Each structure stands twice: as C-alpha cells, then as structure tokens.
Chain A
Amino acid sequence: MKYMLLIYSNEAAFEAAGKAQVEEIIGAYQAYTQALTKAGVIVASDRLQRSPAATTVRTADGKTKVLNGPYAETKEQLGGFYMIDVPDLDAALTWAARCPGASHGVVEVRPVWAM
C-alpha cells in the first residue's frame, strides 16, 4: 500500500536554529532518504518552501479568490513529504517513526486512495 508521510514542523524554531543544528537536521534527512531508497520503498519525496511562500486559491460562484499564505495559520506547517510503498500500516508507522520530522515536529501517516 502507498502511504504519504506528511511532515509538519515549527518553521520559526527551524529559522531560529543555529547553522550547526540546521546542518545536522539536513544530514539526518539525507540519511533517512537514503535508507528509504535502499529499502526500495520510496515513491516520491520533496521538501517544500516555507509557508509564507504559499498562496491559497478558492473558486466560488465562478470567481477565483487568491489569498496570500497557507490554508491554515498553525504553529506547525506542512514542510515536506515522503510517499512510500509498504505492505501495511505497521511498516508505514515504523518508517514514520524513523523520519527526522517525527522528532522535531509530527509526521501524519495517510494511506493513498487506491484507484
């Protein structure tokens, strides 16, 4: 089954982090991506630009509204994702727990709708 691991983290905290700390986090993500690749379970992954770069679009009554900023202003923002293909939820949860995002934020595990 395919699962999305959605990484939510505190952007302000990351912003405030020192150079050494940022390098450590980036290194941890690289190692994690490498481990997923070696295990042959990774389908896709990317890091997102910070939430101020987000634009929200909604169309109603034929009119398109474009708003500056993310859909929801929360302390923790979606910052990146991994899509993995594993046999079941337990395997997905095991990978989610290894994700660096689980220790500096939270990782939401969502099964992908099977078409």
Chain B
Amino acid sequence: MARSAAEAARTAAAAAVRESYGKLLAFLAARTRDVAASEDALAEALAAALADWPLSGVPRSPEAWLLAVARRKFIDQARRRQSAAGAGDHLRLIAEELAEAASGEAVIPDHRLALMFACAHPALDAGIRAPLMLQTILGLDAATIAAAFLISPAAMGQRLARAKSKISQAGIPFRVPERAELGERLHSVLEAIYAAFAEGWSDPAGTEIRRRDLAEEAIWLGRLVCSLLPEEPEALGLLALMLHAEARRKARRNAQGDYVPLAEQDPAQWDARLIAEAEALLFRAGAMDAIGRFQLEAAVQSAHVVRRHAGRSDWSAILRLYDALWVLTGSPVVAVNRAVALAEIEGAAAGIAALDALQSDDRLAEYQPYWAARAGLFAAAGNVAAADEAYEQAIGLEHDPAVRRFLDRRRRALRG
C-alpha cells in the first residue's frame, strides 16, 4: 500500500512538474525578478511534495499547494539573504500576492510568455537563450541540457547561472513587449525555440533519447507560444516548420540505419497527422498576411510534401520561396538551397553556376551541404573529377557517420 501511494505521489508530482513547472516558476520569477531563487524555492517545494503526498494524499490543487510551499521557502531564503537590508515591506508585498494565488481560489496567472521574453532578451548572450528557456519553462536540469548541447555540465551550469544573475541585476523585465517591438523580440524567442529543436534534430537516428526529447520539448514550447499568441503568423510558421521536420524523422533512416536523403524518402513513411497539422497552421498564418522567415521555410517543406500526391516536389514554388528567403535573410545557406532548386528546374549546369557565384563567401568553405550540393550537381553534369573532389570535402566535414557512409557510397558510384 505504502509503496503504491508513494508511486502515485511520484507520478502526480512528475505530472505537476511537466504541466505546472514553467507556470509556477514564471509566476514566482515575475514577482521576485529572481529566477535562481525562484528555482530553488520551487525545487524545495517539489521535494516537499514527494515527502508529503504519499502520506496525506495528492492535494486537490497540486499547483496551489506547490506555490504555497514555494512561497514560504522563498521568503525564508530572502530573509536569510537580505537580513541586513530593509527589504521587509517588499517581502510582505510579495508574500501577500503569493498567498492570494496559493489560496487556490484564484487561477494562477500564466506568465510563461513573459518569462520566455526575459530568457530571449537581446541583452543576454544568444547562445544561452535556448538553454535558459528549456530550464525555466520546462524544468530540465543543467546536465540534461548540457548533454544535448554538447557542452560540459559544469560549463552549462555556469553559463545558466550567469544569465540568471544578469536578468536580476540588469533589471531585464518579465513582460510581453509592446506592439511596436513585439515582432523583433518575438523573433528572438522563436529563434531560441528553433535552436533547441535543431539540437534535438541533429541526432537523426534518434538514438540519443535526450536529444530526441529536446525536439519534442521544442515543439511543446512552439505549441505554447502559439496558444498564448495565436495571432502571430511567425509563431505559427515556426510550429509548422518543426512539425514538418518531425513528420519525416522516421523516413530519414532505412531499416539498416543508413541515411536517406529527402529526395529518396518514401512518403508513405511520413507522419500524415503531423503534416496535416503543419499545413493547417501554415494556412492560418498565411491568412494573416505578414510573411516571415519561419513561414517561408515551412512553406518550402510544404512544397516538398506535395510529392505525396504529385510524385514530385513543387520545385518552381521552392525556388520562389528561396528567392524570398534570400531577400529576407541574405543567408548563404539559403543560397545553396536555392541553387539546388534551380538545378531541378533548369538543369545541373544552372545550379553549378549559381553555386560558383557563392564561392567568394568564406562562410561556405566549411559548410558540408554546400560541398554535398556541388558534388551532386557535378555528378549529374558528368564532371567526375570535380564531383569526386567535392565529395571528399563534404565527407571530411560531416560528423554524422551515417551521412558520411551515404556520401562515400555516392562517391564510389562515380567511378562505378
């Protein structure tokens, strides 16, 4: 009996963490402006829940219970730390506000969006925004985040701590920016979510559970932003883009674990449910008439999905979309993709000419997809020597062994 009660409590606590962690932390942090202290208080409250719930049962409102305990812990902490300072009034004010929310009468207001804007504030280092969001909104620990971002746990912990103290010392606000600056600031929130997704995505075999989970967590964050800002087309665009990519996860590997490029994937392996959701989101975003990077990228994915019915990607649409993305971002990555699309329409020579035009961009020298694209186009044009050289460069730059094997097979086929 005791054992099953303990298990039920653990399950309830775990569910409360998943559902409420970000909400509770956002509420505490917005009141206190101290993310680290709020985290400590919440962690203690969760530990208390694990000790208490097996004995006295799971409370009617787990969120209110946790908030009440976190509030007490927070005030204890703050008293210890600021015993010398005359922060009494301030503390009483916080205590009253928190008590009201913790009484369970009022619904705890959802400040998660405000917390996300704080985590993705331009005053913080761009590289720490995604990890910070994963930790504060989802409650992931530093070690898990560090593993996903291929950084040592100690270094990640330190960088997270620095970012949190910058938030409190510099007075970074916890609020959704005004209309005038919302677009730009929202973009940095979306960028951070996409960075988390890309980290999860870069383990295509899905063998590392932590990284695969990261893609799922990013989608969860994307859904959250869409539910809180349903009228922002770029938020919808980002979610559509992530769902399109996620829909193809299984098709990226064959039964032997070998890499399968998009053009050779079996559309039957794509997740039709996720694609349908992505298409609906993109349609909604399109109706709002404010195009942006994420919508365009999602639309590219959408033009590839056409292959399910038409047997071929809509390359002329893809080319137009990359043209628009190029105008918007000037990114060499976009230019490489555009050249590949051009080759599909006008032939390999046109694609090679477009890639040649990019040669002066140093950023491409170590960009694997540039060399893989060159190799593919030279092979199609029958220039074996140039293709061989480009494949060698692409293989040397690739870190995923499955993709390396794939490129190597293509290279050998040149001589076959």
Contacts and interface: CB of A to CB of B under 8 A. Distances in A.
Interface of A: 1, 3, 87-90, 92-93, 111
12 contacts: A3-B171, A87-B171, A87-B173, A88-B172, A89-B121, A89-B171, A89-B172, A89-B173, A90-B173, A92-B171, A111-B169, A111-B171
A25 B172 CA distance: 30
B123 interface: yes
B2 interface: no
A92 B177 CA distance: 14
A5 B171 CA distance: 14
B150 interface: no
B89 to A, nearest CB: 15
Contacts of A88: 171-173
A115 to B, nearest CB: 8
Contacts of B171: 1, 3, 87-89, 92, 111
Interface residues of B, number: 8
A87 B172 CA distance: 10
Interface of B: 121, 123, 169-173, 177
A93 B172 CA distance: 10
Given A89-B123, A93-B123, A111 B173 contact: no
Nearest to B174: A88
A93 to B, nearest CB: 7
A88 B121 CA distance: 12
B186 to A, nearest CB: 14
Contacts of A3: 171
Contacts of A87: 171, 173
A1 B33 CA distance: 12
A90 B170 contact: no
Contacts of B173: 87-90
A1 B168 CA distance: 11
A90 B169 contact: no
A24 B172 CA distance: 33
B148 to A, nearest CB: 29
A87 B121 CA distance: 16
Contacts of B169: 111
Nearest to B33: A88
Contacts of A89: 121, 123, 170-173
A3 B331 CA distance: 37
Contacts of B170: 89, 111
A93 B170 CA distance: 11
Contacts of A92: 171
Nearest to B121: A89
Contacts of A90: 172-173, 177
A87 B175 CA distance: 12
Nearest to A92: B171
B11 to A, nearest CB: 40
Contacts of B121: 89
Nearest to A86: B171
